[in-house]
């Protein structure tokens, strides 16, 4: 059985950042693929009982991941990550926003910048995600919307994926 460190989420609202750290006892290439391949992202990204459904994924600088988190009664929360910098397989940066069905940003909902870093650690991989607001109040609104609990659940889904796929 693969043992993964529970995600630690640090809320530094004074410096306007949320930092998530987690260790997976999985190879760095496997962890990188889990964050960059739609067929894997769809298996873990949303907290259960929700699931992710990719509409489009172009993992390249200037590309985007357009997806929906779909609830048990077919509720849909649409979002996209617009990729800004990619340093494969060590890091990527992207802007995250909620969207309408067509992919247009919903300006009334939080927008954040994500920096995702991947580092080999023993037989596993350390992942660090730093979120900074793109819009005023975005971090606080994300927290109010249940980001912390939901993201921990999604990272738990990723742990389950590694346990069953390796």
- Across the chain, which has 166 residues, the per-10-residue mean pLDDT values are 70 92 96 97 96 97 98 96 98 97 94 97 95 89 93 95 88
Q: How many structural domains are present in the chain? A: 1
Domain for residue 3, yes or no?
Answer: no
Q: What is the pTM of this model?
A: 0.93
* Alpha carbon separation from 84 to 12, 22, 79 (Å, rounded): 23, 23, 16
Q: What is the rounded (10 degree) CA torsion for 68, 43, 55, 8? A: 50
The parent domain of residue 95 ranges over 8-165
Domain for residue 55, yes or no?
Answer: yes
Domain for residue 1, yes or no?
Answer: no
Domain for residue 51, yes or no?
Answer: yes
Q: What CATH number did the domain enclosing 78 receive?
A: 3.30.530.20
Domain for residue 2, yes or no?
Answer: no
Domain for residue 142, yes or no?
Answer: yes
């Amino acid at each position: 059985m693969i043992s993964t460190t529970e995600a630690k989420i640090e809320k530094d609202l004074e410096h306007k950042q949320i930092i998530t750290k987690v260790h997976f006892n999985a190879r760095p290439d496997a962890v990188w693929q889990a964050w960059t391949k739609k067929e894997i992202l769809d298996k873990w990204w949303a907290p259960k009982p929700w699931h992710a459904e990719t509409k489009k994924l172009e993992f390249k600088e200037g590309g985007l991941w357009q997806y929906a988190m779909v609830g048990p009664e077919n509720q849909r929360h649409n979002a996209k990550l617009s990729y800004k910098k990619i340093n494969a397989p060590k890091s990527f940066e992207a802007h995250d926003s909620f969207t309408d069905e067509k992919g247009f940003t919903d300006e009334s909902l939080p927008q954040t910048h994500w920096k995702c870093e991947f580092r080999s650690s023993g037989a596993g991989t350390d992942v660090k995600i730093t979120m900074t607001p793109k819009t005023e109040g975005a971090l606080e609104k994300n927290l109010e919307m249940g980001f912390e609990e939901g993201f921990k659940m999604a990272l738990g889904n990723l742990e389950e994926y590694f346990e069953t796929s390796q």
